[in-house]
Structure 1
Amino acid sequence: DIVKLFTKENIVPENAIPWIFNLVPLVGLVATISILLYLPLGGFPPVLSQNGDLILILYLLIIPSLAMVVGGFSSGSPYAVVGAQREMATMIAYEFPLAIIIISIATRLVQNGGVNVFALSTIASTPVWNIVGPLGFIGLVILLLVLLIVTPAELSKIPFDSPEAETEIAGGLLVEYSGRNLAMFYLTDGVKTVAMASIIVALFFPYAISGLFGLESYFAYAADIIFYLV
């Protein structure tokens, strides 16, 4: 479907602000792809890594949603404006819990004497499950459940799809988008889904499964990547 959309005509509404309307899909896609560059993949280290990369990832996660909001407001459609308003309200609801989860994990690492606690490399080398007691274990389970609830909200999936509710506001934010712009938004959604799943694994399950089965070489990398993605 995405490939077909790239071949379709890109229509800009008469009431839209053309340069903003056409720019924000690309901004959202670039930001989402950038997130993947900071995430490890199985036994492979991230392409980019620095102190505080978790904070950067948190900001990058906001950009695709902001791009959709700006695109909705710039389209000139009342349906898109309503969708943009809903998306802004939803963002306030899910970004705060996501920040709390990251800060909670970083705080536990600090208590354990960790350095650069907002770096994914630190979490990978010191899984939080290994440094907590019984009460801490319960706390981590709660944080994991909260993250699993926040994830569909971050991705605007059911039951958190009110900004794009097709039955109410005809697609909401994306109602005026078509062609390559719509394809980029759909591609952004797919990449962001992979990114959110990778973040869950990187924060709570930074383990290499190949060691459990004594795998080596390419088999080890393949097993770790499959475990990471599944």
Structure 2
Amino acid sequence: MTNLLWTIFHVLVFPGLLFCVVVGVLLAGLDRKLVARMQNRVGPPLLQPWYDFLKCCGKETIIPRHARKGLFLAAPVLGFAALITVALFVPVFSYSVYSTSADLVVILYLLTVVGVSMIVGAAASGSPFAGVGLSREMVAMISYELPFVLVMLAVGRMAGEGSPLGVTFSLQAIVDWQAVNGNMLFHWSMIPAALAMLFVIPCEIGMHPFDIAEAETEICEGTLAEYSGPPAGLFRLTHCVKMYVMCALFCVLFLGGISTGYAALDALVMVALSVVLTFVTMSVPHAVCARFKVEQVFQFYWTVVAGLALISLILVWLGL
């Protein structure tokens, strides 16, 4: 009975649903506030993303005439559920809820499910704007998946050099390795992989200047063009939570050696680092960069970003 209660607590409170939503909403609000300040504007309140979600929940859900209703309504639920599941696999430094020998593989698949849910929802809507958006979303996924996988391989090889397979995909093993050998970020061979991961984060989330799938001024929010009411709010909440999950994943992969021994204090450190990452990887590019063209996103990620990750993988494999 006790184990069941703890499982419910982990899923619904920490580090699951409630914790992810609160931190994700705060990060999204902070991003909007920082961008506004850098553009000499006042900006919206810090909790504006939460207000937007509540407003969507109070609106009517309008389903397009030619939409496939089941898929159209199931897509946002599927994406949000997959993302909360990812959060359960990401350790809050020393505190891990679920740990397997293939955490990184599971996380990669679940994050792909989040992107696929947007594609499925857009395809089910029957909208031409959503059709353009889903094609762009597929290009974005193909673009960042390669460097993302290379980064995971580099980190796994570094932490699993002494293991039977020579590589580990367990996040807990990666955290334990960093506790003994120092953070990945402080090993010079892993610096290119860390830079690559910083580029992967905004594209994975769909932040400006890599928001080609939504592009409000071009294709009327693309994949979300036909969504309204609670489903639209759930997609937007998923976007907020994804900001935290990706920042937390970076912290675990490259700063996993930071641990106080207390879960609550580790969570505060994780949130503080997520705020810094939000500023570096999302707010500054949003404020100073124009949106990439579709072909530019693909070229950039398969040349520059994948190249950085590949350099780290080669250096680690050579033992340098």
The verdict on a shared fold, with TM-score over 0.5 as the criterion, is: yes
Q: Provide, for residues 72-130 of structure 1, a one-character-per-residue CA deviation record: whole Å limited to 9, x for no partner.
A: 11111100000000000110000111111111111223323477711111001101993
Q: Which residue of 1 aligns with 2:56?
A: 5
Does 1:16 pair with 2:58? Answer: no
Take 1:20 and 1:56, find their aligned partners in 2: how far apart are those partners? Answer: 23
Does 1:39 pair with 2:90? Answer: yes
Take 1:149 and 1:128, find their aligned partners in 2: how far apart are those partners? Answer: 25
Does 1:109 pair with 2:166? Answer: no
- Residues 17 and 74, structure 1, Cα contact 8 Å, conserved in 2: yes
Does 1:178 pair with 2:228? Answer: yes
- Residues 105 and 128, structure 1, Cα contact 8 Å, conserved in 2: no
1:54-203 to 2 correspondence within 5 Å? 54-113=104-163, 117-127=168-178, 130=181, 137-203=187-253
Going from structure 1 to structure 2, the CA distance change for 1:128 and 1:80 (only over 3 Å counts) comes to farther
The alpha carbon displacement at 1:172 in A equals: 0.5
Going from structure 1 to structure 2, the CA distance change for 1:208 and 1:157 (only over 3 Å counts) comes to same
Aligned residues: 219
Take 1:207 and 1:131, find their aligned partners in 2: how far apart are those partners? Answer: 6
The higher-RCO structure (CA 8 Å, 6+ apart) is 1
Take 1:117 and 1:18, find their aligned partners in 2: how far apart are those partners? Answer: 42
Counterpart pick for 1:26 among 58, 77, 80: 77
- Residues 182 and 257, structure 2, Cα contact 8 Å, conserved in 1: no
RMSD (Å) for aligned C-alpha atoms: 2.2
Name structure 2 gaps, 5 residues minimum: 1-51, 273-320
SS at match of 1:127: helix
Q: Which amino acid aligns with 1:79?
A: F
- Residues 112 and 131, structure 1, Cα contact 8 Å, conserved in 2: no
> TM-score, length-normalised on structure 1?
0.88
Question: Bigger shift: 105-114 or 25-34?
Answer: 105-114
SS at match of 1:139: helix
Take 1:89 and 1:65, find their aligned partners in 2: how far apart are those partners? Answer: 11
The alpha carbon displacement at 1:196 in A equals: 0.3
The alpha carbon displacement at 1:221 in A equals: 4.0
- Residues 32 and 60, structure 1, Cα contact 8 Å, conserved in 2: yes
Take 1:99 and 1:74, find their aligned partners in 2: how far apart are those partners? Answer: 29
- Residues 179 and 258, structure 2, Cα contact 8 Å, conserved in 1: no
Counterpart pick for 1:225 among 245, 248, 267: 267
Q: Which amino acid aligns with 1:145?
A: L
The alpha carbon displacement at 1:207 in A equals: 2.5
Take 1:58 and 1:109, find their aligned partners in 2: how far apart are those partners? Answer: 18
Take 2:104 and 2:259, find their aligned partners in 1: how far apart are those partners? Answer: 23
Take 2:90 and 2:158, find their aligned partners in 1: how far apart are those partners? Answer: 21
- Residues 93 and 175, structure 2, Cα contact 8 Å, conserved in 1: no
SS at match of 1:210: coil
Q: Provide, for residues 55-76 of structure 1, a one-character-per-residue CA deviation record: whole Å limited to 9, x for no partner.
A: 1001111111111011111111
The alpha carbon displacement at 1:3 in A equals: 1.5
Counterpart pick for 1:206 among 252, 256, 267: 256
Q: Which residue of 2 aligns with 1:214?
A: none
Name structure 1 gaps, 5 residues minimum: 212-219
SS at match of 1:62: helix
Q: Which amino acid aligns with 1:4?
A: K
Deviation >4 Å, runs of 4+: none
